Copies of this chain bind each other. A is one copy, B any other.
Amino acid sequence: MFFLKDLPTRQMLQRYGACYPGMNTEAVAAALNLLRRGSLLMRELEAYFTAHALSQTRFLVLIVIDREPDREGLLASEIADRLDVSRPVVTDTVKALAAAGLLDSVPAVEDGRAKRITLTARGQAVLADLLPGYFAIIGAFMARTDGPGA
């Protein structure tokens, strides 16, 4: 998360640019906007998930499993591959979601080390319940911040 509330003005950046000749003022201004906007949206989404006893990461775990319905569930390592989080995070997240009844985790028959992780009916229902609000928050945020002030 990028926590700076008031981004430097173009003027301030140009002053920096004078000191650091290689710097692309426009690119930096755009990047700081990207970071700040992304962080603000992230905060809103995290609050939404927290209010529903989830988190961004837990939600994304549900999503990536739901996204491949032809597969008979995913392995933990496959989830980690699709999600740019470390394996231990997948272990903990899956454990929490299974405890909440949203995922099932059964040993894989073809590989004694692996586990097949699937959505339960309840997991699918929770996902379907959350998506409209998720899209609504995103839509409202973009409408609010996509203008000239952004």
Decide if A114 is an interface residue (CB 8 Å cutoff). Answer: no
A56-64, A69-77, A101-109, A115-123: which lies at the interface: A56-64
Looking at chain A's contact residues, is the secondary structure mostly helix, strand, loop, or mixed?
Answer: helix
Contact, CB under 8 Å: B22 / A132 = yes
Q: Would you give the shortest CB distance from A6 to chain B, in whole angstroms?
A: 7
Contact, CB under 8 Å: A2 / B56 = yes
Task: Find the residue from A3, A22, A81 having the highest chain B CB count within 10 A.
Answer: A3
Contact, CB under 8 Å: A83 / B27 = no
Decide if A146 is an interface residue (CB 8 Å cutoff). Answer: yes
Decide if A41 is an interface residue (CB 8 Å cutoff). Answer: yes
Q: Which residues of B contact A57 (CB under 8 A)?
A: 3
